Structure 1
């Protein structure tokens, strides 16, 4: 039985690049914060490269979604977590064995690692036997695991380890200390008088007394005296210690590479599930998106996952939003007052598509999303003296680079571009950019203060950040699909320049 990966079906693994770097748009979308939080407790597995590699094959995405669904079963999830804890212990034992100085101590921790490994693998086989597994990844791995545990190599590893542990535990010896002299000899059935002494003095006991027994901890290291005592014990029982030495030599690389690969890759799913659980506990929903190559998409109750994670430790609600694009619609033009959730909506749109392309559940109760080839973002950046460009020129250069590289299958997130120029110039430049996007037939979210862009063509759709009708200064953070009316924008401008009715009245009074 050949098993390849929990992340990729057979054959797809060959498509993984040797070097996987963090995508350029992570900073704009706050996805770096999300991936850092997901992988924070799993650093020993080096999971970030898995989250930096979006998929472009719907079948591979379904392959991962199936595994996520299997892990919805609490018993299966707990079995995998228990297995991972045991394998982590194996790694610690093996690392410790390599760092220790005394040979026999190295062999002892190596044997402990082998015993823990065999127990972990055997335990996982038993736990998965009754699990309701349906995914191809889990079913194929279960078949491999069952075959592996029944193999002569594993049985030999396991049975020899148990026998050695039993024989080592049966060793009894005496340590004789006279001044600076220490001697070791075999146990000769000396009588232990400790229990008899306790019975003799029991009659003098008056009530509860303080206990003075000390439990000696099991330390990883030994002193040079302890090491010499152990060498003496090995001379007294040479056959057992020779078998331990031979075991360590014969099973130097006992961890099966397939088991090791599974242990690392399954943490991709576990880490994301743990991350989701924290948000679900706050009443937020996740769903399995349907990926499509047709250009009709929608999402219900979607939210910015980075903002939601931030809200775990900060006050404030996470407001979900809906969107859909159908027929010839490709561009969402988001307008409305500042601080109303426009940029958050744009980030959310791209986050959904990126997480879906990893094969992960996405924020929301329902979603059909496009399987893109690349994501491009343009968010406002501070001017840099290094490139010797002004802000407007820098915007133009960056957007030109995006439009040159983007295809009809790309997703573009353009957030409040051309804010450094005049209104007429901003309208002209924005229209030219959107015409290029329309000619590409690419999906785009365009956050702007220019309302008329929403009616540029049949490919554009207007969505507006709303305010509380009774108090326009309060934001609802709901982005709704409706024509831009300019009222919210006018209020926002008036507030910015202190020209609202109330503020003017206050100034007149002064």
Structure 2
């Protein structure tokens, strides 16, 4: 099986889904409210088009049901959430890198972002390798990410990050400050003057004293003095910082397209499962419907309206459930009753 998507077996179906707007009947049946609630807090993933696009064959529906069934395993659910959190952290680092002004600081944040991405991929590959998976979607993903994590492109990227991080951590330098002048030079094994001063005056210590240590700013953006010092440090270690510059250029498009698509599409399932949990805590029931190409019977027991139930749960009000069925040659319902009697809600 060639893995394309967690929502569609065929990639062209995913492209078509992106162009859809909400159907007209969504507002009539309050499905717009349902989708708004499900996708709240996940705007970065643009999930609404997924809910607007209908599926046209039973196997496409089963493909998604299988994935939902796998995700109802709490261990797998938490593994996928952990991956999503890492990917969100990666995007936050990239966004912060874009906001910063000084080049070397931007490059540092970019390097961290790629490192987070690699850790997310490695962790997910390991988690899926030990997971009990049944769905075609997750089995295909496991095969894909296992091959990707073992590929030359990924392993060399990870090795380069680790080497570059180690070299950057080895950078040591001294600041010589006199009046309005700051000189920067390599560290040459000089002793720690702070420790020497503390040892010299230790014998005069008679108890707690006022702390005169300066607290450094927590701002992410460097000021011009810090940036100038870093520029001088880069001149002292040209090979290391040249490698950092080259890394950012060569790996500017490091994100694997399929991994990025999975990160977005899996939110369709996570969002709905978290939405379902609200109703389950209130004692309401869900199931995986049985579907057929030939049998036209339809039935449900203890069914309820999602939008209304969500509102009633928030109000701590009771929820009335219904049963219905159509069997044999039955094809339509005729619903009658007084105004405000629940006809539209039942529909």
Instruction: Provide the TM-score with structure 1 as the length reference.
Output: 0.64
1:122 maps to 122
- How far did 1:334 drift? 2.0
Distance 1:15 1:184 in 2: 55
User: Structure 1 pair 76/103, CA: closer, same or farther in 2 (3 Å)?
Assistant: same
Structure 1 or 2: larger strand share?
Answer: 1
SS at the partner of 1:335? coil
Which blocks of at least 5 consecutive residues in structure 2 are unaligned? none
Q: Write out per-residue CA displacement over residues 403-458 of structure 1, whole angstroms, 9 at most, x where no aligned residue.
A: xxxxxxxxxxxxxxxxxxxxxxxxxxxxxxxxxxxxxxxxxxxxxxxxxxxxxxxx
Q: Write out per-residue CA displacement over residues 84-122 of structure 1, whole angstroms, 9 at most, x where no aligned residue.
A: 111111112122223322221221111111111111111
- How far did 1:69 drift? 0.6
Which aligned pairs between 1:10-29 and structure 2 lie closer than 5 A?
Answer: 10=10, 13=13, 16-17=16-17, 19-29=19-29
Q: Is the 8 A contact 2:111 2:161 kept in 1?
A: yes
1:490 maps to none
2:336 maps to 335
Relative contact order higher in (CA < 8 Å, ≥ 6 apart):
2
SS at the partner of 2:314? coil
User: Structure 1 pair 316/165, CA: closer, same or farther in 2 (3 Å)?
Assistant: same
- How far did 1:342 drift? 2.5
1:234 aligns with 2:234: yes
1:194 maps to 194
The number of residues matched between the two structures is 345
- How far did 1:213 drift? 5.5
Which one has the largest radius of gyration? 1
1:300 maps to 301
Distance 1:226 1:133 in 2: 51
SS at the partner of 2:41? helix
User: Structure 1 pair 217/258, CA: closer, same or farther in 2 (3 Å)?
Assistant: farther
Distance 1:197 1:131 in 2: 57
User: Structure 1 pair 65/191, CA: closer, same or farther in 2 (3 Å)?
Assistant: same
1:276 aligns with 2:242: no
Q: Is the 8 A contact 1:5 1:13 kept in 2?
A: no
Distance 1:182 1:77 in 2: 53
1:247 aligns with 2:227: no
Q: Write out per-residue CA displacement over residues 44-102 of structure 1, whole angstroms, 9 at most, x where no aligned residue.
A: 10000001111111101100010011111111111111111111111121222233222
- How far did 1:317 drift? 1.1
SS at the partner of 1:290? coil
SS at the partner of 2:185? strand
SS at the partner of 1:159? helix
- How far did 1:178 drift? 2.3
Which aligned pairs between 1:18-97 and structure 2 lie closer than 5 A?
Answer: 19-97=19-97
- How far did 1:282 drift? 1.1
Which aligned pairs between 1:102-117 and structure 2 lie closer than 5 A?
Answer: 102-117=102-117
- How far did 1:262 drift? 0.5
Distance 2:177 2:213 in 1: 21
Instruction: Provide the TM-score with structure 2 as the length reference.
Output: 0.93
C-alpha RMSD of matched pairs (Å): 2.1
Distance 1:114 1:314 in 2: 45
Q: Write out per-residue CA displacement over residues 355-395 of structure 1, whole angstroms, 9 at most, x where no aligned residue.
A: xxxxxxxxxxxxxxxxxxxxxxxxxxxxxxxxxxxxxxxxx
Distance 2:193 2:44 in 1: 49
Q: Is the 8 A contact 2:8 2:14 kept in 1?
A: no
- How far did 1:300 drift? 0.5
